[in-house]
Structure 1
Amino acid sequence: MSVNYEEKASTGLNQLGLETALNQLDQCSQQAAAQNWSYSHFLGYLLDAELSERHRKTVQLNLKFARFPYLKSIDDFNFDAQPSIDRRLIDELATGRFLHEARNVIFLGPPGVGKTHLAISLGVLTANLGYRVYFTTAIDMARKLAKALAENRLKREIQNLVRPTLLVIDEVGYLGLDTTQASLLFQVVAQRYEKNHSIVMTSNKPFSDWGHIFANDSIMASAALDRLLHRCTVVNIRGDSYRLKEKKLAGASFDLNPA
């Protein structure tokens, strides 16, 4: 009795859960016959289609999990408007090597200079590379952790923040933290350091002012910075706010230092 290998291939692909390869099997078989593909060419084509679709779905899930407020890319960033930024340094970060080296990235600078744009860009890059990333502001994370502490589920909440390959913490220092919140932020930093998982941070405060961020606890601030800066790329952006520039171009005038 002859064996129907086309049916056998379909059944096997279905049992292995190779949905995309199964869907493209007939078309691929016809193309292979018409173009006289080798067996390895035919198999490689099917596997490439399957892997490409799986990667697309992984990226889609990663972006959904990340909870970015919006999507940005480094290609969208206006480097001409911020000449203080070393483009070569950003291009190096865009390779994703900082993730494999367990390096942190901290963007410092006044409001509106593009810190969040660059931080989200690195987060989107991480998702596109197939890794899990999570975005939060410092105050939102601190409040969520404090709530988890009160509800006796802190361990699970911290694990959720430690597990992703990359954690993006935006607006560190924009709003003050109380002693409990500062301690919880430190715990996340410390545990990610122990796991060799990268953090991307943005802050409008120089490191000399981080004692205020950690509820005026200079010892805790020093301990956090010791871990963050051990393996870290610091990008200090000196420039004017994009938003203020746009207002000025539109003809608005306002005094940032009223009498």
Structure 2
Amino acid sequence: MTPTRDPLDPIAALCERLKLPEVGRLAATRAEQAAAAQWTYTAYLADLLDAEVATRQTRYVRSHTQMARLPFHKTLEHFDFALQPTLDERQVRQLATLQWVDAADNLIVLGPPGVGKTHILVAMAMQAIYARIPVYCVTIQDLVADLRKAWDENRFAARLATYTRPRLLCIDEVGYLPLNTLEANLFFRVVAARYEHGSLALTSNKGFTEWGAVFGDPVLATAILDRLVHHSTILNIRGDSYRLREKRQAGLFGEAAARPPLTSGNTATP
């Protein structure tokens, strides 16, 4: 007796050729559901294609999140705005629409340690990845160490492309350690190369008046700030550290813990 041929075999073969694995995997099951629920042919096809798109998006987000080298994976849904009243939640959620990335503008997040600056940076990076915008994240120390090594090996121009190619470059921890003359100049080269071509998002625990000490040269710091701030939004978080708050709640030390203020104001420029 000749075995009955599965009528969906040709679909599976075609899906393999067209690289539609999710459609091929679900075609039979969804056909049964469609028959039972009396879906139209259009609804059945749309359901299969939607599953394929969703699977591809999940795979894309997973792989590009790894490629972006995020320090952790958090979105704005994990951010407790109630604990940072100086931060305008509506403004931050508007920034998550990424219109500033479309315009090649910048985002600068200032504040003392532990107030959620890196969380906001990562949330914006995650939002960009969901929107299929190329992203790369790095601390300023890792960036200048990488570029200095390339400089010493006479391959700086090629390595610089790593930091100019992504539409969004996230740089964390500006100001935690001072840079020497060469490192400051290499960082300036990155900022200058991206100016009005690609977006920068960075965090700093120093107010702008202290950047001269960070970069070892007030003139160079002014040149860097001129390019960063020209088309930018500046968020200044003046709240308390999440980590210190948790320790106080645990009774490890009193309310007199230091809360270092920033010297720059909470401003936004178009």
2:228 aligned with 1:228: yes
Shift of 1:60: 0.2
**Cα shift readout 1:170-210 (whole Å, capped 9, x = no counterpart):** 11011111111111111111222242x21111011112222
Aligned positions of 1:127-206 closer than 5 A:
127-195=129-197, 197-206=198-207
Aligned positions of 1:29-108 closer than 5 A:
29-108=31-110
Structure 1 contact 62–131 (Cα < 8 Å) conserved: no
Q: Which amino acid aligns with 1:232?
A: S
Structure 2 contact 147–159 (Cα < 8 Å) conserved: yes
After superposing the two structures, state which structure 1 stretch, 223-232 or 17-26, moved more: 223-232
Cα distance in 2, alignment partners of residues 245 and 199 from structure 1: 30
Unaligned 5+ runs, structure 2: 1-5, 260-270
Unaligned 5+ runs, structure 1: none
Shift of 1:241: 2.1
Q: Which amino acid aligns with 2:227?
A: R
- Secondary structure at the aligned position of 2:170 is classed as strand
2:212 aligned with 1:211: yes
Q: Which amino acid aligns with 1:74?
A: L
After superposing the two structures, state which structure 1 stretch, 122-131 or 42-51, moved more: 122-131
Q: Which amino acid aligns with 2:78?
A: D
Structure 2 contact 140–174 (Cα < 8 Å) conserved: yes
Cα distance in 2, alignment partners of residues 255 and 13 from structure 1: 62
Task: State percent identity of aligned pairs.
Answer: 40
Shift of 1:91: 1.3
Cα distance in 2, alignment partners of residues 130 and 151 from structure 1: 33
Cα distance in 2, alignment partners of residues 247 and 82 from structure 1: 17
Cα distance in 1, alignment partners of residues 79 and 258 from structure 2: 26
Cα distance in 1, alignment partners of residues 157 and 30 from structure 2: 50
Cα distance in 2, alignment partners of residues 62 and 230 from structure 1: 29
Aligned positions of 1:113-124 closer than 5 A:
113-124=115-126
Shift of 1:47: 1.1
Cα distance in 1, alignment partners of residues 241 and 70 from structure 2: 21
Cα distance in 1, alignment partners of residues 182 and 150 from structure 2: 12
**Cα shift readout 1:65-100 (whole Å, capped 9, x = no counterpart):** 122222222122222222111111111112222222
Q: Which amino acid aligns with 1:238?
A: R
TM-score, structure 1 length as denominator? 0.89
Shift of 1:127: 1.8
Shift of 1:164: 1.8
Cα distance in 2, alignment partners of residues 231 and 10 from structure 1: 51
Residue 239 (structure 1) aligns with = 239
Q: Report how many residues are paired.
A: 252
Structure 2 contact 104–196 (Cα < 8 Å) conserved: no
**Cα shift readout 1:133-162 (whole Å, capped 9, x = no counterpart):** 222111111111101111222223211122
